[in-house]
Structure formats: structure tokens, C-alpha cells
């Protein structure tokens, strides 16, 4: 047999075990996994001795700003950063310009991103309430990975871009949908059978709380947090769970940040409701206390909360309530992020640092490597209908593979990041563990921190299973 690529002598991370062996790749697919050497030559051989070999890692939540705000980031940059960070598939969020709100815009975006993609990608569709209720079925049929609803956000009337600092007096803005309209979104998505993923923050509450604060210019994170508190998320999560109980909508709760949300989601899952949840590194590794050192670059929506929230999020990961971790990569420029805490846009880079941060946590004994592999690979693939094509090392599936050096000690430096924007909360963080090779459908995209192949990324659609 002439193989395309053999990965030799790695510690292969399978479903429940880690076993030493070799992986044989042909035509972009995994053809064999064997403890013994199989016959035949290969065009490429990777020696993975002493390294860990995982199913390709998936980041289900990134904002590459492409099209639209490509001065902040674009898909070529974000997928380069992702590949350096050990990611083989990203799911691109739909709050682009044009937004992914119709079938036509889905096709436009697929073509736009495919021309720049260094790794594979899925596309989210957006719900804009009544405005595109009638388009959700065609978005589903086009192959969106899920439908995203930015609950609590107002959007610009013309281009549907998010309004970060909503005020009801603003002109040319569609205010956040009321609960009746959101109920209709749940109903429409339920009909498609796709996942409805929600950004969960209650705008009415946040707006009223902000009105009662005198100093809305100050640099005090806790004052800012008191205007966007835990309760804003909890109210929305609770309403969403009840909508799902009523309508059966398959619900995914994005970037969970509070203790009480974890408890509500755990309870809903116990009751058998179709609810999954994710969180992000900033909620696992930062708290309100981090602001003293890190400052306003750590402003993300929903805001990073308190230590007791963080502890329960870790518990939620341990018991499976939270089944995936994603970056919410949301770059803005240096100038945009150097303004005032209250008015600057929310978001920071994350696609390149998510894997290192979590590997460091593995090395600290906070989670096992098997759990890490579930959180970043098999669970996201299962939650969004691309398993086992992605998210597994099964025979006949895409040869997407991430190779890790678990012993490598290094420091995250903002200037070393590969995104257009270098905005990160993790500058100077000391890390043990690093992705050293990123392989997409058999092709080495990154090796030892260098990009080896570009532009081969393809769209992956929901329910596109090859087995």
C-alpha cells in the first residue's frame, strides 16, 4: 500500500483510552490504526514519539469579522492563528456583513471563506427575530451548523451589526426582541430540527441597572459588572430552558459565565430537556479580580464574573453539564480596545490560546487529557452534527489530527500571536503544553509553529456524515 501520511509511535487519544500506535492516512481519510507497523511507503511520515495524538480540535465559536470589519481580523488570519493553536475546524459566527441571515448570504459567505480558509470550517446562521423567521428553514437546508440568536442585543437596522452599547434613544437600531418574538424564534428553529444557540443576557435589566449608576465612565470593573450582573444571564437562561420545555427546541447555551446558570442547565439536563452548554477560557482562568492586572482588554460580553461562578463552571465541566469549551475569538483593534471600559467594544482574541491554556490546566491536574479531547473535539462534533466525520479517530473518517507536546514550557506573548489584532488577556502567561502539529484531512497545516500549507480549508455541513 502507498500511504499518503503515516503518524508513527504516538500516544493516540481514543474514546476511553490512550494507546501507543501508528495512524495510516490515505486520500484524506484515516485508513488504519495499528500497534504494529503496516506494510508500504508513505509520502509523508511524522514521528510522534513521546507526543500525544488527538482527533482534530474544534473551536465552535469564533468571530473572524470577514466580511465586514476585516480591519480587525479576516479569515486567513484567524484560521492561521487557529492552526498554530492546534485547531483543525472552526465554526464562524454569523454577525458578519453581510450577516448569514438567508440562503443567498450563506452561499456568499461559504465562497468568501473558502477562498481564505487554512483549516475546515462550519458556518452559523443568524436569527434576527421576525425579520428572517421565514429564512431559517433554508438556512438549515443549506447546512448551517446551528442558528445563533444574540438575545439581549440590539442590531443596526441596515447591516444587522451588533450594537454594543444599546440605548433606546438610538436611531436606526432594531431594539432587542421581546420575549414573544424570541418564543417565535424557538418555534421556528424547532421546526427545522437544528440547534438554537443563544447569547444569554437580559437587556431590560442591564439597561435599568446602568441607568442607576452615576459614574458610567469609571475604570472600576465591579461597578461595571453591577450593570451586567449574573442575574442578566440567569434570567435569560431560565426563560430559554422554559421555552425549550414548551417547544422542544434543541437549545445550546453559549459562553456560560455564572454558577446559577450551571445549576439550571444541570437540572434541565436531568429532566431530559435537549440542552447543551459551552464555556470559554476567560471564564475558566479569569475572574473580576483579574481586572487589576489585565485591565479593560478583558472586557467580553457576557462579562467575566466572580470566583464562585468560576468554581461552579469547573464543576459543570467535571460532571458534563458543560460539554464543550470554545474561544469566542472576537478581535478588535488596539485603538478600539484602548478606550474607556464602558464604551469600548467587547471581545478579545482567543483562537490561538484556547488549546495551550487548557493543556496547561491538564498539566496542573485540573482535567484529564481524555476530558480535554472530549471538550474540544468529540463533544462539539456530536453537538453540532458532524460526528464522526470530525471529532474522532475512527477508520474512514477525516484525517484531522492535532499532535501535542505535553512537556513544552513556554510563555504566551501578545506579539507572537498570528491574528491581525493582538488583543489578549494572556500576555505573559506561562504555559506547559503546546500543539506541535495540525493536520487537516491528512495535510500538515502547521508544524513546530510554522504554517506549511495554506488555503485548503473546506466547508463542513451539519448532518454531513460519511459513515
The residue among 260, 302, 357, 288 whose CA lies nearest residue 59 is 357
Among 54, 100, 262, 346, binds ligand DOR (CB under 6 A): 346
301 is a contact residue toward ligand DOR (CB under 6 A): yes
The residue from 5, 26, 51, 63 that contacts ligand DOR (CB under 6 A) is 63
Which of 1, 33, 151, 2 lies closest to 399, judged by CA? 33
Question: What is the distance between the alpha carbons of residues 309 and 325, in angstroms, rounded to a whole number?
Answer: 16
Binding track over 160-179 against ligand DOR, x by CB under 6 A: --x-----------------
Q: Per-residue x/- mask for ligand DOR, residues 365 to 394, rule CB under 6 A?
A: ------------------------------
With CB cut-offs between 5 and 8 Å by kind, which of ligand DOR, Zn ion, none does residue 117 bind?
none
Q: Which does 301 bind (CB under 5 to 8 A by kind): Zn ion, ligand DOR, none?
A: ligand DOR
375 contacts 324 by C-beta, under 8 angstroms: yes
Tell me which residue of 57, 93, 60 sits closest to 75, measured CA to CA.
93
How many other CB atoms sit within 10 Å of the CB of residue 361?
A: 22
Alpha-carbon gap, residue 345 to 330, rounded angstroms: 10
Would you count residue 194 as binding ligand DOR (CB under 6 A)? no
Binding site partner of 95, from Zn ion, ligand DOR, none, Cβ cut-off 5-8 A by kind: ligand DOR
Q: Is 354:86 a contact under the CB 8 Å cutoff?
A: no
What are the cell numbers at 227?
Answer: 450593570
Strand order in 146-151's β-sheet?
A: 57-62, 87-92, 120-126, 146-151, 195-200, 250-253, 275-279, 324-325
Q: Which one of Zn ion, ligand DOR, none is in contact with 243 (Cβ closer than 5 to 8 A by kind)? A: none
> Which uninterrupted H or E stretch holds 220?
none
Which C-beta is closer to ligand DOR: that of 10 or that of 347? Answer: 347
Phi/psi at 199 (nearest 5 deg)?
A: -80, 125
Q: How far is the CB of 301 from ligand DOR (least distance, A)?
A: 4
**Window contacting ligand DOR (CB under 6 A); options: 131-139, 175-183, 340-348, 408-416:** 340-348
Other residues' Cβ atoms within 10 Å of the Cβ of residue 428: 11
- Looking at residue 375, the DSSP 8-state letter turns out to be I
Considering the complex, state which of residue 251 and residue 386 has its C-beta at the smaller distance from ligand DOR. 251
Nearest residue by C-beta to Zn ion? Answer: 328
Could you count the other beta carbons within 10 Å of the beta carbon of residue 272?
Answer: 8
CB closer to ligand DOR out of 346 and 412: 346
Closest to ligand DOR by CB, 327 or 377: 327
Smallest distance from the beta carbon of 107 to ligand DOR, in angstroms? 22
First to last CA, the chain: 23
Nearer to Zn ion, 92 or 328 (CB): 328
User: Judged by CB, which is closer to ligand DOR: 29, or 330?
Assistant: 330
Q: How far is the CB of 193 from ligand DOR (least distance, A)?
A: 25
Grid cell 431559517 — which residue?
Answer: 136
> Least separation, in Å, of the C-beta of 114 and Zn ion?
22
Which of 212-220, 343-351, 385-393, 435-443 is the region at the interface with ligand DOR (rule: CB under 6 A)? 343-351
In 3D space, the residue among 304, 303, 297 whose CA is nearest the CA of residue 336 turns out to be 297
For the CA atoms of 248, 253, 257, 259, the dihedral, rounded to the nearest 10 degrees, stands at 20
Stretch that binds ligand DOR, among 13-21, 171-179, 189-197, 342-350 (CB under 6 A): 342-350
Report the distance separating Cα 364 and Cα 349, nearest Å: 24
Q: Which residues of 41-60 are buried (b: 16+ CB within 10 A; e: fewer)?
A: ebeeebebeebbbbbbbbbb
347 binds, among ligand DOR, Zn ion, none (CB under 5 to 8 A by kind): ligand DOR
Instruction: Select the binding partner of residue 300 from Zn ion, ligand DOR, none (C-beta < 5 to 8 A, by kind).
Output: ligand DOR
| CB 94 to ligand DOR: min, Å | 10
Q: What's the grid cell of residue 144?
A: 448551517
Q: Which stretch binds ligand DOR (CB under 6 A): 307-315, 341-349, 355-363, 417-425?
A: 341-349
Using CB under 6 A as the binding rule, whether residue 75 contacts ligand DOR is answered as no
Min dist. Cβ of residue 347 to ligand DOR (A): 3
Taking CB under 6 A as the rule, does residue 329 contact ligand DOR? no
Q: Does 199 bind ligand DOR (CB under 6 A)?
A: yes
Cα gap 366→318, rounded to integer Å: 9
The verdict on 206 binding ligand DOR (CB under 6 A) reads: no
| Smallest gap from residue 206 Cβ to ligand DOR (A) | 13
Q: DSSP letters of 184-217?
A: HHHHHHHHHT-EEEEEE--HHHHHHHHHT-S-SS
Nearer Cβ to ligand DOR, position 347 or 380?
Answer: 347
**DSSP code, position 459:** B
- For ligand DOR, the binding residues (CB under 6 A) are 63, 95, 162, 199, 300-301, 330, 345-347
Amino acid at each position: 500500500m502507498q500511504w499518503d501520511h503515516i503518524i508513527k509511535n504516538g500516544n493516540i487519544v481514543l474514546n476511553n483510552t490512550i494507546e501507543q500506535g501508528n495512524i495510516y492516512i490515505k486520500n484524506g481519510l484515516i485508513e488504519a490504526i495499528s500497534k504494529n507497523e503496516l506494510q508500504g511507503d508513505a509520502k509523508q511520515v511524522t514521528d510522534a514519539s513521546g507526543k500525544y495524538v488527538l482527533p482534530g480540535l474544534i473551536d465552535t465559536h469564533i468571530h473572524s469579522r470577514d466580511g465586514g470589519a476585516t480591519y480587525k481580523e479576516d479569515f486567513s488570519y484567524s484560521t492561521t492563528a487557529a492552526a498554530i493553536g492546534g485547531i483543525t475546524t472552526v465554526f464562524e459566527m454569523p454577525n458578519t456583513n453581510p450577516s448569514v441571515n438567508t440562503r443567498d448570504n450563506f452561499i456568499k459567505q461559504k465562497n468568501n471563506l473558502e477562498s481564505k480558509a487554512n483549516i475546515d470550517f462550519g458556518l452559523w446562521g443568524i436569527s434576527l427575530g421576525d425579520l428572517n423567521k421565514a429564512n431559517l428553514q433554508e438556512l438549515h437546508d443549506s447546512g448551517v451548523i446551528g442558528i445563533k440568536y444574540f438575545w439581549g442585543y440590539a442590531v443596526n437596522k441596515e447591516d444587522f451589526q451588533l450594537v454594543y452599547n444599546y440605548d433606546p434613544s438610538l436611531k436606526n437600531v432594531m431594539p432587542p426582541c421581546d420575549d414573544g418574538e424570541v418564543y417565535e424564534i424557538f418555534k421556528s428553529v424547532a421546526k427545522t430540527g437544528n440547534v438554537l444557540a443563544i447569547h444569554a443576557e437580559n437587556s431590560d435589566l442591564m439597561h435599568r441597572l446602568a441607568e442607576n449608576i452615576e459614574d458610567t465612565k469609571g475604570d472600576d470593573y465591579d461597578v461595571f459588572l453591577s450593570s451586567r450582573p449574573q442575574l442578566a444571564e440567569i434570567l435569560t437562561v431560565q426563560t430559554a430552558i422554559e421555552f425549550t420545555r414548551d417547544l422542544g427546541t434543541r437549545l445550546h447555551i453559549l459562553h456560560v459565565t455564572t454558577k446559577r446558570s450551571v445549576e439550571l442547565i444541570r437540572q434541565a439536563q436531568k429532566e431530559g430537556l435537549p440542552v447543551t452548554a459551552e464555556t470559554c477560557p476567560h471564564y475558566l482562568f479569569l475572574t473580576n479580580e483579574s481586572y487589576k492586572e489585565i485591565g479593560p482588554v478583558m472586557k467580553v460580553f457576557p462579562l467575566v464574573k466572580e470566583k464562585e461562578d468560576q468554581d461552579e463552571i469547573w464543576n459543570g465541566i467535571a460532571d458534563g453539564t458543560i460539554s464543550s469549551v470554545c474561544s469566542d475569538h472576537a478581535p478588535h483593534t488596539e485603538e478600539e480596545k484602548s478606550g474607556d471600559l464602558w464604551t469600548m467594544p467587547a471581545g478579545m482574541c482567543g483562537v490561538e490560546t484556547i488549546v495551550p491554556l487548557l493543556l496547561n490546566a491538564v498539566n496542573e491536574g485540573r482535567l484529564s487529557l481524555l476530558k480535554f479531547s472530549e471538550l474540544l473535539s468529540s463533544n462539539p462534533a456530536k453537538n453540532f452534527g458532524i460526528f464522526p466525520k470530525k471529532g474522532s479517530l475512527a477508520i474512514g473518517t477525516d484525517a484531522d489530527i492535532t499532535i501535542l507536546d505535553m512537556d513544552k514550557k513556554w510563555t504566551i506573548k501578545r506579539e507572537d500571536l498570528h491574528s491581525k489584532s493582538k488583543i489578549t488577556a494572556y500576555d505573559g502567561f506561562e504555559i506547559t503544553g503546546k500543539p506541535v502539529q495540525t493536520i487537516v484531512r491528512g495535510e500538515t497545516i502547521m508544524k513546530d509553529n510554522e504554517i506549511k500549507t495554506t488555503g485548503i480549508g473546506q466547508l463542513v455541513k451539519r448532518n454531513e456524515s460519511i459513515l
